[in-house]
Amino acid sequence: MRQNPEWVKFMKEQYPPGTRVRLTEMRDPYAPVPSGTEGIVDFFYDVGQLQMQWDNGRTLALIPGEDRFSVIPQQLQTLKLYMPLTVKSYERNEYGDMDDDPIELDGRTALSYEDHILAALLKERSPEEAERGLMKYYGKDDSINCKVQSYVFTAEEVDGRLMGVAECRVRGELTDAELEQLKEYVSGQASDGFGEGFEQRPIKTGDGEIYVSLWSSDKSWSIMTRDELEQGQQMGGMTLE
């Protein structure tokens, strides 16, 4: 019998493919999977069953509400999403005053200010973000919220160029759709959330001040995984100059 669509949606988010479980008791009267067996969720049937791939080779489905089982927490993994930085420098003139017009630094020149930028990004983090970082403000009760434990903005050298990084702590694997949804949220924080305030605050250096933007309206701006970044370079896309 087909279940309530909202309940089905909830169960699919609770037990996405790849979720690892340990069986406590299966109430199949004929040939139950032995208690203590572990396995991986293959998919969720709309009729209310979890299709399984058990470690002992069996594929007998689990029935939530009848069978007893527990989810085995997956270890957190680090996922890095890269984005170009825009760094503008206001230098002091011969009189010791700041120039009115900034100079936009290329990625290699910006690398010399890496320590200043990292310190400024760290300073922006608030105590209430200690556990989840900017995921604290995500606001949706969905699979992204379940899988992505936290993320923070930082910066990292990539092939001699300084790039912005959203460093995410993820439990399990993200689907392609989930990855795109996470990128969209990170992009919003880079442009209108965290990044909007950050780019307005001067970072003092020995030469003067710099202003750093995580996001740019330039069409060349994008947010990428490391694999996507390297693939783009190989295909003649983004060049790290």
Instruction: Report DSSP letters for 164-219, one per residue.
Output: EEEEEEEES---HHHHHHHHHHHHHHHHTSHHHHHTTS-EE-SSEEEEEES---ST
Q: Which residues of the chain, if any, have pLDDT below 50?
A: 1, 238-241
- Cβ atoms of 79 and 170 closer than 8 Å: yes
Report how far residue 143's alpha carbon sits from residue 149's, in angstroms, rounded to the nearest whole number.
Answer: 11
pTM of the model: 0.72
- Cβ atoms of 206 and 78 closer than 8 Å: no
Q: Where in the chain is the domain with CATH 2.30.30.30?
A: 5-71
Report how far residue 144's alpha carbon sits from residue 13's, in angstroms, rounded to the nearest whole number.
Answer: 9
pLDDT, one tens digit per residue, over 69-94 is 999 987 899 999 999 999 999 876 66
104-111: long-range contacts at Cβ-Cβ below 8 A with a sequence spacing of 24 or more? 105/210, 106/161, 106/241, 107/160, 107/161, 107/162, 107/163, 107/240, 107/241, 108/160, 108/161, 108/162, 108/241, 110/85, 110/161, 110/162, 111/157, 111/160, 111/161, 111/162
pLDDT, one tens digit per residue, over 191-206 is 999 999 999 999 998 8
What the block records as the tokens of 124 is 């922006």
Fold of the 5-71 domain = SH3 type barrels. (2.30.30)
User: What's the pLDDT at 211?
Assistant: 95
